[in-house]
Chains A and B, each alone.
Chain A
Amino acid sequence: MRRIKMPQMIVEIASAVFKKPFTFQYPFTKPKVPEGLRGRQIFHPERCISCGLCARDCPAEAIEMVEVSGKKMPLIHLDSCIFCYICVENCPRNALTESTFYELASTNKESLALRPEKPESEGEATEGE
């Protein structure tokens, strides 16, 4: 037909059979995650001054101020959150900080919220783990 000259592709494909595959099995092997990854926020209730700036500035309207023992605190709806971290940047007292926790999938909508009542411990798992 034409000059069957594609040696590079043939060599490449034939040698790929003997190399280690590029993909890995996710739940059993976790990927290495860089430290700047945008994960779920961490809330420090002792620093919050109830100014409501996070709720006003959220582009996705995902933060709702709820009453917790007399003070108004933010409740973040993680199913609407776009993890843009405007709330983290704009909080005047750094009551919201970043983390790299990203395994947020859940079968229950109730658990997809960052509630101000529970004291947040690092790496707390959501339901279903």
Chain B
Amino acid sequence: MKEIAIEEEIIGTLEGMLGESVLGSKSPRPRRVYIHVKPAAHKRAISALLQAFPSTIISTITGIDLGETIEINYHFWCGKAEVTIRTNLSKSKPEIETITDIVPGASLYEREVHDLLGVKFANHPNLTRLLLPESWPENSYPLRKDWNPKQTGEIHDSSEKTLTIGETRTESNGGSLVNVIVGPQHPALHEPERFLFKLDGEVVVDVEPRLGYAHRGIEKAAEHLMFFQDVHLVERVCGICNVAHTTCFCQAVEALGEIEIPSRAKYLRTIVHEFNRIHSHLLLLGIAGLEIGFESLFQYLWRDRETVLDLTEKLTGNRVMAEYSTIGGVRRDLTPILGDEIKKKLQKIRDRLSFYKEVFQSDPTIELRTKGIGVLSEEKALKLCVVGPVARGSGVKSDVRKHDPYAAYEDAPFKEILYKDGDSWSRFMVRLEEVGESIEIITWAVDNIPSGPYRIRVPRRMPRGESLSRVEAPRGELIHYVKGNGTAYPERVKIRSPTLANIISFREMIRGCYVADIPAVLASLDPCFSCTDRMVFVDEKNGRRWIWSMNDLKARRRDS
């Protein structure tokens, strides 16, 4: 009863503040509110929301091409519910006022919508391309329904207007700064990305990240596959956090189709989700060790990660890509023998954890390299709307499992880990302790799993409607927004992965640090760029651009 009051309270507050500008509102599910406002009133609505709930953070901005109009949805998490404020723009002249002056964390999302849908955000401080390359032709917007790849024509990969490595540029303040480019190929990065660092000697003054190198076109491709096939497509957004993506997508589609899955399936999804989290955190801590030069720590952590991968393989059939959740439940069951084995092996990992905690806490070289480096204060973290362990390392409470529970998390006993300092060391410790909490959750789930079916069959067609699902991926809050149109194919799938929210904070963290700290700070941010850029497909080779349709790809594959 309390939950319904929250949503109605939110609707009531906003309608009171905005009066006539509100064109409609609804709350189809607990903790989800949708408000439709007039085109010019979105900024007032957002300010009203921020005034009523000061700890609101922006989740993402979705643009949908509805034929005659383009609908822009602003998704916010206000601490108690997910509020979506939407407005419609005409397709012939899509222009809207920016909100970056009141919500600085929205800058990347507005650039994304501008890049792929062609919406102009007036007064945005830096409205440049985010995901597509600079040489992409002007009036070609891939996410629009009427976009044809063949009409786009050839792209000549002429030099991007960037600086070369080592070029000095004299700034107006009289000093001179050296620009160093890290990426797209660099041993410190595990996925291609380009960072342009401005250095003053050995101290970093500024950084500009350039995303989009791993852009594959998943959101557009998802509109051409049926819902149950999309589960496998969405899983491949990211290899490391794949369970989070499938869980989130399945939950979104189940909410859309108003399907209630059996509770055994919920517990099984929780178990695999937590396995994924343990594996991802151990991976990252090993990479952190490697970045600061501690190879032995890297080898030991990954050796212990093998245990988790073997257990995942026994449960789901694959070591990394679980392919376990599907719409309507999960695909395999957990036998009691496997349950006992899981508990026994996880006990061993728990004993190893105390060893790693001791190493992180007392090793002097780790201390020198990570304590006090890359500090993000709590108020900056709130303003830039960061999520996940980056936020929790700065003391901001942000764990979807606690505040917006899904699957079996409502009853699971675990703590939200918070550290106050906001430096790299705190972020690593948050992740290390979360591994311990995950082990607790899995053990509890295996002991208390209810009996019953683990999967129900669902129809292929999903009704008209929309739904929004949030999960806590290992890197932070992950959002999927799914819109159905009555067929077996989705109308729009929007994915916002946590690294996109966190990448803005890299600039704040790295200012004033030395060049040698860059890999360590980047590792503590845990960037997963495959998750970050997954929109339209671009393939460039030898200065000419190839776009192959699915048939071209199949034909080419078969005759080579």
Is chain B in direct contact with chain A in the complex (CB below 8 A)?
Answer: yes
A interface vs B, CB < 8 Å?
1-6, 8-9, 12-13, 22, 34, 36-38, 57-61, 77, 79-80, 82-86, 89, 109
User: Within the assembled complex, what's the spacing in Å between the Cα atoms of A60 and B221?
Assistant: 11
User: Within the assembled complex, what's the spacing in Å between the Cα atoms of A77 and B558?
Assistant: 9
Residue of A nearest to B306 (CB): A22
Q: In the complex, how many residue pairs between chain A and chain B have their CB atoms under 8 Å apart?
A: 66
User: Within the assembled complex, what's the spacing in Å between the Cα atoms of A109 and B318?
Assistant: 24
User: Within the assembled complex, what's the spacing in Å between the Cα atoms of A77 and B554?
Assistant: 10
CB of B202 closer than 8 Å to a CB of A: no
A-facing residues in B81-130 (Cβ within 8 Å): none
Q: Known interface pairs A5-B362, A36-B332. Does A59 touch B313 (Cβ–Cβ under 8 Å)?
A: no
Residue of A nearest to B303 (CB): A22
B314 and A80: CB pair below 8 A? Answer: no
Shortest CB-to-CB span from A40 to chain B, Å, is 13
User: Within the assembled complex, what's the spacing in Å between the Cα atoms of A12 and B303?
Assistant: 14
A-facing residues in B302-358 (Cβ within 8 Å): 303, 306, 310, 313-318, 323, 331-332, 355, 358
Q: Mark B222-246, 1 if CB is under 8 A from A, else 0.
A: 0001101110110000000000000
Apart from A8-B358, A9-B363, A82-B232, 19 more pairs, CB < 8 Å: A3-B364, A5-B362, A6-B364, A8-B359, A13-B296, A22-B303, A34-B314, A36-B313, A37-B318, A38-B318, A38-B323, A57-B226, A59-B233, A61-B550, A77-B558, A79-B557, A84-B323, A86-B228, A89-B331
Chain B residues within an 8 Å CB radius of A80: 557
Q: Enumerate 26 A-B pairs (CB-CB under 8 Å) in ascending A order.
A: A2-B364, A2-B367, A3-B364, A6-B359, A6-B362, A6-B363, A8-B359, A9-B359, A22-B303, A22-B306, A34-B314, A34-B317, A36-B315, A36-B332, A37-B317, A38-B323, A57-B228, A57-B229, A59-B225, A59-B232, A61-B554, A77-B557, A77-B558, A83-B318, A85-B323, A86-B228
B316 and A36: CB pair below 8 A? Answer: yes
A84 and B232: CB pair below 8 A? Answer: yes
Cβ-closest 4 pairs across A and B = A59-B229, A59-B232, A38-B317, A36-B317
CB of B151 closer than 8 Å to a CB of A: no
Shortest CB-to-CB span from A17 to chain B, Å, is 12
B interface vs A, CB < 8 Å?
225-226, 228-230, 232-233, 296, 300, 303, 306, 310, 313-318, 323, 331-332, 355, 358-359, 362-364, 367, 550, 554, 557-558, 560
Residue of A nearest to B366 (CB): A6
Chain A residues within an 8 Å CB radius of B296: 9, 13
Shortest CB-to-CB span from B273 to chain A, Å, is 19
Shortest CB-to-CB span from A36 to chain B, Å, is 4
Shortest CB-to-CB span from A91 to chain B, Å, is 15
User: Within the assembled complex, what's the spacing in Å between the Cα atoms of A84 and B364?
Assistant: 47
User: Within the assembled complex, what's the spacing in Å between the Cα atoms of A113 and B228?
Assistant: 24
Most buried by B among A3, A22, A59, A79: A59
User: Within the assembled complex, what's the spacing in Å between the Cα atoms of A13 and B550?
Assistant: 52
Residue of A nearest to B302 (CB): A22
User: Within the assembled complex, what's the spacing in Å between the Cα atoms of A95 and B487?
Assistant: 29
Shortest CB-to-CB span from B410 to chain A, Å, is 29
User: Within the assembled complex, what's the spacing in Å between the Cα atoms of A8 and B356?
Assistant: 9
Chain B residues within an 8 Å CB radius of A22: 303, 306
B554 and A12: CB pair below 8 A? Answer: no
Partner of A8, one of B314, B355, B364, B557: B355
User: Within the assembled complex, what's the spacing in Å between the Cα atoms of A12 and B356?
Assistant: 11
A109 and B229: CB pair below 8 A? Answer: no
User: Within the assembled complex, what's the spacing in Å between the Cα atoms of A82 and B323?
Assistant: 10
Chain A residues within an 8 Å CB radius of B554: 61
Chain A residues within an 8 Å CB radius of B225: 59
Shortest CB-to-CB span from B278 to chain A, Å, is 18
Shortest CB-to-CB span from B384 to chain A, Å, is 34
Shortest CB-to-CB span from A118 to chain B, Å, is 19
Chain B residues within an 8 Å CB radius of A12: 300, 355
Chain B residues within an 8 Å CB radius of A59: 225, 229-230, 232-233
Residue of A nearest to B460 (CB): A57
User: Within the assembled complex, what's the spacing in Å between the Cα atoms of A13 and B299?
Assistant: 11
Chain A residues within an 8 Å CB radius of B332: 36
B364 and A4: CB pair below 8 A? Answer: yes
User: Within the assembled complex, what's the spacing in Å between the Cα atoms of A1 and B359?
Assistant: 18
User: Within the assembled complex, what's the spacing in Å between the Cα atoms of A1 and B367?
Assistant: 12
Partner of B364, one of A1, A57, A86, A109: A1
User: Within the assembled complex, what's the spacing in Å between the Cα atoms of A113 and B359?
Assistant: 49
Q: Known interface pairs A13-B296, A61-B550, A86-B229. Does A37 touch B313 (Cβ–Cβ under 8 Å)?
A: yes
User: Within the assembled complex, what's the spacing in Å between the Cα atoms of A86 and B386?
Assistant: 37
Shortest CB-to-CB span from B34 to chain A, Å, is 30
Residue of B nearest to A80 (CB): B557
User: Within the assembled complex, what's the spacing in Å between the Cα atoms of A12 and B385?
Assistant: 41
Chain A residues within an 8 Å CB radius of B233: 59
User: Within the assembled complex, what's the spacing in Å between the Cα atoms of A57 and B317?
Assistant: 20
User: Within the assembled complex, what's the spacing in Å between the Cα atoms of A36 and B316?
Assistant: 7
Chain A residues within an 8 Å CB radius of B230: 59
Residue of B nearest to A90 (CB): B228
Shortest CB-to-CB span from B441 to chain A, Å, is 23
Residue of A nearest to B310 (CB): A34
Chain A residues within an 8 Å CB radius of B303: 22
User: Within the assembled complex, what's the spacing in Å between the Cα atoms of A9 and B300?
Assistant: 11
User: Within the assembled complex, what's the spacing in Å between the Cα atoms of A123 and B303?
Assistant: 30
